[in-house]
Structure 1
Amino acid sequence: MKRWLAILGALYLLLAAGFNLATPYGEAPDEWAHVDYVKQVAAGRLPHLDLLTRKDRQTGYEAHQPPLYYALCVPVWKAATALGAREAAAAKWVRIISILLGGLGLLAIWGLAGEASGWTDPRVPLLATGFAAFLPMRLAVCAAVTNDPLAELVATLALWVMVTIVRGGVTVRRVLLLGILLGTGLLTKMSLVILFPVAALALLLGSRRREKREAAASRKKRRAPAPRTSEWLTLDGATFARGLAISFGVALAIGGPWLARNYVLYGDPLANRAFTWYFADTRRYEWFREQGVDFFTYLGQLVLPVTFDSFWGAFGHLNRPELFMGALNRDYPPTSWVYPILLMATLAAVAGCVVWYLRARRQATAEGVAVGLVLGLATALVVASFLRFNTVFFQAQGRYLFLALGPISLAMAGGWLQLTPKRWWWYTAAGGGVLMLALALYALFGVVVPGFARA
């Protein structure tokens, strides 16, 4: 297991380094704005959105973000600039922080997939990790200056702890760790606030108390059958309340000052209204509606196709067809020979998940059902938040779904494995990993390198 993880990690680092070298500075989404934030923190300032003048629209629009990722980048930025590196070169050095965070994210996905599947088969977490390691869009994101890799890491670690709570119960150590991760999320990216309701559900399900109860024997018969025992689960309300108070209290102790700062600056702890106001004159869904595009056409022909393409891999600022994989024309989104194949692979995984559910239902345990509820709620909240965002702004970027990449990777791996006999699972896991590696190599050398070379 450790050897295969090391191989996956080494290949990931090589590919991410390749994406770093091949992607010009500023050609990753919002990279200029993220670097501007790093520069301000390096100068000893915390930026904020200027809602009155909006004078920093070109590079200052990430100023509402929490500061943790940027603080991690400052030492590398200062070292690079002290050695004489210009902004573009220094930014490429700072990208190494994102690459390393992405590597830690792979370990978190491995742990989450293993814990969620009960560590019953090593091929499930290995294939899930391989899927994430070689996902082209994730490689591109992890080779950019952006807080997305840290947000994905924190989300996956938090879900791992939640699954551990569901399976092993509520302990002081676990709820303290959960609280630290929830608070770290508040200092990383405000979209991680969705972890709080998921954590509450995990604590609720982890606060169950097992009791053995005997079925009443029939008194009508002279020879009553032997009493039957069954396992019942009841909620331990005190344990739940204590776990909720500790974890949420620790989280607010860590992230609360940032929420208070947002409230003072913007009148909104999450800074959502400030962000919406700051971009009041950018293209929104209303613009499409005014052009005669109804909501379902907007969703079905723009948001969902571009989101699917950019989840797997569409590079740059999503405005150049040649940076979509397998593009055959210059439409938007372009016709492609790659994404239909990936759609079939996705549908196969969905079908496999249905098979997985039907097989597991016969011998489902309370813990297994609870784990499914926690991961399902997390994924549903990420998707719902993404769709809601796109009802305001047209932002069909699949990378926003990476907050749920842990559960998604588990579903893809488990679904593919379920479609083959169990004696073939090593071949399925190896084949899936090799095909994902081939996709990553094609994305790098067949799309990114020539695409940016023509820029």
Structure 2
Amino acid sequence: MNACRCHWPLIVIVAAYLVLGSLFALRTPVWQNPDEPAHYNYTRQIVRSGTLPIIEPEDWVAGLVPIGPDVRDVPVERMTYEDHQPPLFYCLSVPVFAITDGSLVALRLFALLIGAFVVAFAYFTVATIFPAHRYLAAFAATFIALLPQHLAIMSSYNNDALSEALLALAVLLSVRMIMKRDAFAAGRLAILAVVVGLCFITKAQAYLALPVALLGGFLAARRADAPDNAFPSLLRVVLVVLGLSALIGLPWWVRSVRLYGGADFLGLQRHNAVVVGQPTTAEWLAAYGLGGVLWRLWQTTFQSFWGQFGWMSIPLDRRIYLALLVFTLISAVLFLTWWAHGRAARRRLSRQMHARADSALYSPYLLLTTQQAHALTLLAGGALFTVLAYAWYNLQFVQHQGRYLYPALIPIATALALGWSFLFSRREAIGRWLWLALLIGLAAFDAYLLFRVILPGMGA
């Protein structure tokens, strides 16, 4: 009961997420989410054959993808180009598929439910860093839960929900490793290793959990109260996390190498060879030049991060994007102001930086403990890993989709929470309710987009 009272905002946030997400899942026409037919067919093949599928050249049919909102009677059973994906999400979906006779709505709701863990893990990550300021956690969780495009993706059928949930759990465990005194307890490290291993058999994007966990171990090993144990502690993290997680991923990697040859342990090389006709970055560079490609990368990424629905075929009104751009820029300025204020405060109050390592932070707008600074460094590292992975993916194929930045949602949402709360740092009574204002605003925005933009745009 005490935990419920302390964390009641999370209950409200998850309830809003489930209600609005269910509306998206129920009302969005069939197959009008990116790659949804291919993910659906993966599960259907498991149910029908009892074996995992293998990606083959005929799995991609040029001209079928993307499915426009005005396209009807598409032979979706021919879309099986996601057959290279790791199997965990689809295997978990098999009972739902079997019980509901392959109901797409039921499968969407199943994915939506998994996505609720993303929201919860994000909340507890920020609450772990700032235990005396849980309204920061509520603000961050609200943004992640009700970000329009993210809500649409979580309410569609694909493996993103489980991938993000496991990655968010890895971030949470890594943050706790930094913040807690018993960071290197065998049980904690084993759980983190298992989570990283499950990421290996969920989605390639979730492999970001490994560098996050190792960075968390490095930062935890630098604890001010145990400098002499830094290297042995870090070595223990590396051995346990790499060893146990690799044992979980190894059978999948061996299977992929045996099927696809070479060092293609993820099946990505075979996938790239199959999806002939997908636009490449080299082709766009020849057609538009570097400046043109970079502009399209920025514009499409920004728009689809906030909301570009269907198969990227339903953008928002330009005025809405302009308002979102203004909000984004203001948020960035506020966060940078918070960061600069903190640096100035540390210089002025350097004598107060020698507080005990486990001391509670008086205010996140003045001084951070060493552990809090390290935890925020971990989040920044996770964001950097995500951006680098996004850039690497776009070096070969044109994939200017903001959803590929969603593994960095926890760092992004934390930055938003710190920036906007800093604006009201002298009026904390207002700042602690910002999350509720954000929830009401985003919920209304989501409902407007669903009923006035998305469904009309899809002819539903």
| TM over 0.5, shorter chain | yes
The answer for the alignment partner of 1:216 in structure 2 is: none
TM-score by length of 2: 0.85
In the alignment, which of 187, 190, 193 is matched to residue 179 of structure 1?
A: 193
The answer for the alignment partner of 1:28 in structure 2 is: 33
Amino acid at match of 1:324: P
Distance 1:359 1:70, change over 3 A: same
Alignment of 1:50-449 (within 5 A): 50=56, 53-57=57-61, 58-81=78-101, 90-116=103-129, 118-168=130-180, 169-208=183-222, 210-211=224-225, 233-234=227-228, 236-266=230-260, 267=262, 268-291=264-287, 293-300=288-295, 302-319=296-313, 323-325=314-316, 327=317, 336-361=318-343, 362=346, 363-423=367-427, 424-449=430-455
Mapped to 2, the partners of 1:157 and 1:35 lie a distance apart of: 25
The answer for the alignment partner of 1:223 in structure 2 is: none
Structure of greater Rg = 1
RMSD: 1.8
Mapped to 2, the partners of 1:373 and 1:306 lie a distance apart of: 28
Gaps of 5+ in 2: 1-5, 62-77, 347-366
Which one is further off, 61-70 or 237-246?
237-246
CA offset at residue 265 of structure 1? 1.7
Q: What is the percentage of aligned positions where both structures have the same residue?
A: 29
Mapped to 1, the partners of 2:116 and 2:398 lie a distance apart of: 30
CA offset at residue 55 of structure 1? 4.5
CA offset at residue 382 of structure 1? 0.8
Contact 2:59 2:79 (C-alpha < 8 Å) held by counterparts: no
CA offset at residue 248 of structure 1? 1.5
Mapped to 2, the partners of 1:446 and 1:234 lie a distance apart of: 61
Contact 1:283 1:393 (C-alpha < 8 Å) held by counterparts: yes
Which one is further off, 363-372 or 22-31?
363-372
SS of residue in 2 equivalent to 1:48: coil
CA offset at residue 189 of structure 1? 0.3
Contact 1:349 1:414 (C-alpha < 8 Å) held by counterparts: no
CA offset at residue 432 of structure 1? 2.1
CA offset at residue 394 of structure 1? 1.2
Question: What are the superposed Cα offsets for residues 87-107 of structure 1, whole Å, 9 maximum, x if unpaired?
Answer: 5xx111111111101112111
Mapped to 1, the partners of 2:274 and 2:426 lie a distance apart of: 54
Amino acid at match of 1:59: M
TM-score by length of 1: 0.86
Gaps of 5+ in 1: 82-86, 212-231, 328-335
Question: What are the superposed Cα offsets for residues 159-190 of structure 1, whole Å, 9 maximum, x if unpaired?
Answer: 01111111223221221111011001011101
Tell me the number of residue pairs that the alignment of Structure 1 and Structure 2 aligns: 410
Mapped to 1, the partners of 2:27 and 2:286 lie a distance apart of: 39
Amino acid at match of 1:386: Y
Distance 1:290 1:210, change over 3 A: closer
Contact 1:346 1:412 (C-alpha < 8 Å) held by counterparts: no
